[in-house]
Structure 1
């Protein structure tokens, strides 16, 4: 009986993973000449495709790799040459081992450290090229600058600027129309997140197309609206008694900001994040 139960569990695990993603479709949207955004399940994927090959920014989950490759083939046939991880979370790095090799995976130093420390990831998932402050790709007739912005969403966030195409991929430093996930245990901070968004806005104009980590393709005005929500939340949090219980913060949070609530980061969870980061906010 125990052997039968074990076999049932072993065979059900991959089926459960497949069931989770069985209805996911990878959709492609042209952002600019040579630049596309893929959506599916997990973080939005940025794509640079041209004569020099294919660079993808993040790669969602391993079971979706085949569908991602099919979507890429419709843009440009051929293998992925480069993968850039914007941070370490599994919905952005889960496909690393599916694309590498032949692709070379790049990320901030801290991304490799965190993936290496997580038993769910194999050595094949690890970035083989890491950087500190940033790195630049001269690829597909564009200059693609990768910039580390510390202690925002995590401690390994990378923002990606396509200088000629005037496109910026924000990774999870932007949840378009939604409260963000600030990974406090992963080196993130609420004010660091706001600082990263404010810095990103300095590199934009009214024509810049912005690929968020989650949500629809955006522009500078959308990111400014998101920035205001962050600022309003922080200003409110700094006015609260940091020694009051979490329940008091939950009751006092302004209902005017509740429209940013969504399935993963509800209003309650966002207030909890502000509360857990309150010592830094009150410094």
Structure 2
């Protein structure tokens, strides 16, 4: 009984900490066009379209932030939620799915996102059915809302196996999801079907649909542009070249992980200051490229 009480106490402390870490998070919006906004908070950046048809949302961060997110959306529009698109399955982009569905949103995502959200979570529990996509797609999807066609297209095996990019064709705004981390090394989730080559191809695909005036919502980081997006792609290709050469020379994973010269050019620019540091990006590139 004592052990049980101790476990319950630790659980309550843990849950309290989980909630408290979001208490001071502020949701801020930035206007990108007449009807498109980006919301910043904790987790993946949120895209918003508002207008006569209602509210269209891209990603929803973490569940404890849903009330704050919905309150910020209310400042932009008094219309009901219509659709929510998940750019991929990770919890910092889908954690609020259940709450958004209960608020009226119909959830849309790639086929693989639904499959992954149906799998048991790390604690063994399952996502409730309200958190799952109602509409899924395989390759691409077109949605017209608030007088604007939105192109939704899948990029294969990039950040994960279910990534989607969304392009607002009239507003000239691109939401990349986590296929773009502005000014930092990206997280390439190899365990969820992500790959270096697929990630590079995703950046190339995104660059194909934009111009110098496009405003880009990255998965993480502030609003970006074509020049910065191109620099990000160059970083990916440079590191791929360096690590492919090391692999060809017979270097081991540990040797590549320890060789800071392979990423020094971008380490010096601060790319390793985020969630993925320089050692981790070298390891990820090695594992992916070696496996392919």
Shorter-chain TM band = over 0.9
SS in 2 for 1:188: coil
- Report the 3-state secondary structure (helix = DSSP H, G, I; strand = E; otherwise coil) of the residue aligned with 1:170: strand
Q: Does 1:253 align with 2:291?
A: no
Partner of 1:216: 222
Separation in 1, partners of 2:263, 2:179:
23
Q: TM-score, normalised by structure 2?
A: 0.92
Instruction: Tell me how far 1:189 sits from its aligned partner.
Output: 0.6
Q: Aligned partners of 1:129, 1:61: CA distance in 2, in Å?
A: 21
Residues 1:137 and 2:143 aligned together: yes
1:2 Cα shift? 3.7
Aligned position for 2:44: 43
- 1:93-114 Cα offsets, whole Å, 9 max, x none, are 0000001132110000000000
What is the match of residue 246 of structure 2? 240
Alpha-carbon distance in 2 for matches of 1:134, 1:278: 27
CA distance in 1, matches of 2:147, 2:254: 54
- SS for the counterpart of 1:172 is strand
Superposed counterparts of 1:9-88, under 5 Å: 9-88=10-89
Q: TM-score, normalised by structure 1?
A: 0.95
Q: Does 1:153 align with 2:159?
A: yes
Structure 2 counterpart of 1:167, from 173, 195, 198: 173
Distance in structure 2 (CA, Å) of the matches to 1:57 and 1:239: 38
Q: Secondary structure at the match of 2:165?
A: strand
Alignment counterpart, residue 131 of structure 2, candidates 113, 125, 133: 125
Number of residue-to-residue matches in the alignment: 281
Root mean square deviation of aligned Cα: 1.4
Asked if structure 1 preserves the Cα contact closer than 8 Å seen for 2:263 and 2:278, the reply is no
